[in-house]
Amino acid sequence: MHDISNVLKHTISRRNALLGLGALGLSLSASRLALAAGGTLIVSNWGGDWGDRTAQFVEGPLLESQGIKIVRDQAMDTERKVKMLAERRLRRGSVDVGHFNEGDVYELFMQDMLAPIDQNKIANFADVPAALKSRPYFVPWLYSGVVLIYNKEKVSEQPTSYESLWDAKWAGRIGLTNQLYFNYMMMAGLIRGGNITNAEAGKERLLELKSLVQPKIYATHQHLQAALLAGEIDIAVNYKARGLQWVHDGAPLAVTYPEEGAIAVMFGACLPKRAPDPELAYQYFDAMLDRTAMGQLAKASFYAPANASASLSDALRAQIDFSPEQQAALNFPDYDYVAQNTASWLEWWNKNIAV
């Protein structure tokens, strides 16, 4: 078991590291993947556009082209975590690589589900800033933050903070997604001078929000996007990357960074202890961090890459990343606290907000 105190020393150092993600680099030579000699790799991932982009920019060109067969086990993160936990007593699991956000990976780590990752076996890990390597069971990949997204044609006075949503004038005009339930609890705990680890205050304030504005709840990011485009809602609380995607698709939307500081989110991958083919999983991790692939992913998804040398233009990097002031204000969750409470939070959310 790793020293948890060292694992959790990430917030301040990460903020500093994010300031240095501006370097451009050259494309990775295909020779780094030349060791691939076929085999089958089982990848647990989200479906939808996230899964499509993973296949388009990473799995297809860098792995399947080398003769590796990718079996895509796609579902929502909660379902995939339950599946992995159900296999914990088996001699061999059914997943080689798990795609999750950092909080989910920490939870799986605390359940003794994950193998440590030898970063020296991943050539492209050299391009990841040191402060982002602090979790020895996690391959960081893409990150963003929870911001305010609104319809410029229908909202004359833009919301400037999370707290500004607690206003009856927004009744029936705000949309949330079940996928970000614990981010919303942190958001609610953060307002009025609070903090993101005050879940009880967050619950009370979410109930106030429900009473004041009756937010509309959607199952997924895609459903939330459709509601914005159809005029069902005028304001959404979601990742900056999602808002930029929707703007790129032609929606008349704008993105506002909240005055309280955005709640940060990091996505990446992990190695289950009972992975059928760990060595093949390492090839997958290296492909994930390929400079060209990460640049293409950033351009298509508007998530900022964890690889500091990803191949993308200065203009795109400025668009998808946060300013130095915004980076310094990012709120990184305490994932030990989240892991201890997430099950009860989800139950509370489903009974009190999602209904």
SS3 state at 223: helix
Q: Per-residue confidence at 331, pLDDT binned at 50, 70, 90?
A: very high
pLDDT digits (tens, 9 = 90+) for 21-70: 444 333 333 334 434 457 999 999 999 989 999 999 999 999 999 999 99
Q: How many CA atoms lie within 13 A of 183 on its CB side?
A: 27
Domain count, the chain: 2
Domain shared by 255 and 121, yes or no? no
Contacts of 171 (CB under 8 A, 6+ apart): 212, 213, 214
96-120: pLDDT as tens digits: 999 999 989 999 999 999 999 999 9
Q: Can you give the pLDDT at residue 60?
A: 97
pTM of the model: 0.78
Band the pLDDT of 178: cuts 50, 70, 90.
Answer: very high
For residue 57, what is the domain's CATH number? Answer: 3.40.190.10
3-state percent helix, strand, coil for the chain, nearest multiple of 5: 50, 15, 35
The residues facing 147 across adjacent strands are: 238
Same domain, 125 and 270: yes
Residue 283 sits in the same domain as residue 250:
no
Average pLDDT (142-163) is: 94
199 and 292 housed in the same domain: no
Whether residues 97 and 17 fall in one domain: yes
Same domain, 209 and 134: no
pLDDT at residue 241 is higher than 80: yes
Do 172 and 26 share a structural domain? no
131 and 18 belong to one structural domain: yes
Are residues 287 and 219 part of one domain? no
pLDDT at 7: 35
- Do 300 and 175 share a structural domain? no
Task: Look up the domain containing 114 and give its range.
Answer: 4-143+265-334
152 and 246 inside one domain: yes
Tell me the three-class secondary structure of 273-317, residue by residue: CCCCCHHHHHHHHHHHCCHHHHHHHHHHHCCEECCCCCCCCHHHH
pLDDT at 11: 42
Same domain, 165 and 136: no
